[in-house]
Chains A and B, each alone.
Chain A
Amino acid sequence: NAGVTQTPKFQVLKTGQSMTLQCAQDMNHNSMYWYRQDPGMGLRLIYYSASEGTTDKGEVPNGYNVSRLNKREFSLRLESAAPSQTSVYFCASRAPSLWVEAFFGQGTRLTVV
């Protein structure tokens, strides 16, 4: 059981380049999330999705877009990367029940130079 899988694990981008971070879960969860982790800032919510085809902005959505094309996959796109987007990105998923935990992927370490 793979749980939540993120690809790639590491990426270096030049300023202005675009890329998509991929996330897939095999637990049949409805809710999925994208977070970024920065020193002193904790885990900040970028976007989340309650189900296929629906997405909502989190705390720091600017500069990002997301796609929830099916129940398993939730991708995060940087259209024009900036050095301020250098961070570790985590994807998570969660079952629809009210009182359950979220499961996280291993993270993608992104550096924008």
Chain B
Amino acid sequence: DQQVKQNSPSLSVQEGRISILNCDYTNSMFDYFLWYKKYPAEGPTFLISISSIKDKNEDGRFTVFLNKSAKHLSLHIVPSQPGDSAVYFCAASARVQGAQKLVFGQGTRLTINP
């Protein structure tokens, strides 16, 4: 049962335009959400996060929006740059019996075209 879902396997965006990556979750117990970026043959690296008590967090070109009622979050990248081409994973965290469970979505491959 996939608790975190990224329904778009791929996304292609023109350089300079906005990239919007989406993520849905099913578990109301999740209290912290993260986005990771992954290049081939490397481990995922942290990009930006948001706690469940907020609806927006911004860091430079990256903004994450959280809609708790819809159980939906999105990552906006503006302006998009060629170096942003990578696989992006959405993740959600919940405290389960004292341990911090961290689950990921399937990933979205973002391609920025010059």
Residues of A in contact with B (beta carbons under 8 Å apart):
4, 31, 33, 35, 40-45, 48-50, 54, 56, 58-59, 90, 92, 94, 96, 98-99, 101-107
25 contacts between A and B (CB under 8 A): A31-B99, A33-B102, A35-B104, A41-B106, A42-B6, A42-B104, A42-B107, A43-B91, A45-B102, A48-B99, A48-B101, A48-B102, A50-B99, A54-B99, A92-B43, A96-B100, A98-B51, A98-B100, A101-B34, A101-B49, A102-B34, A102-B46, A104-B45, A105-B43, A107-B43
Interface of B is mostly: strand
Tell me, rounded to whole Å, the shortest Cβ–Cβ distance linking B65 to chain A: 17
The answer to whether the Cβ of B16 comes within 8 Å of any Cβ in the partner chain is: no
In the bound complex, do residue A101 and residue B43 qualify as a contact, i.e. CB atoms below 8 Å apart?
A: no
- B residues sitting closer than 8 Å to A (CB atoms) are 6, 9, 31-32, 34, 36, 41-46, 49, 51, 89, 91, 95-107
What residues on B are CB-neighbors of A59 within 8 Å?
103
List residues of chain A with CB within 8 A of the CB of B105: 42
Q: A42-B6, A42-B89, A101-B34 are in contact. Are A58 and B101 (CB under 8 A)?
A: yes
B33's closest neighbor in chain A, by CB? Answer: A99
Contact A101 B99 (CB under 8 A): no
The answer for the CA separation of A92 and B100 in the assembled complex, in Å, is 12
Identify the closest chain B residue to A50 (Cβ): B99
In the complex, residue of chain A having the shortest beta-carbon distance to the beta carbon of B52: A99
By a CB distance below 8 angstroms, the chain A residues around B41 are 106-107
Q: Are B102 and A98 in contact, CB atoms less than 8 angstroms apart?
A: no
A101 to chain B, nearest CB (A): 4
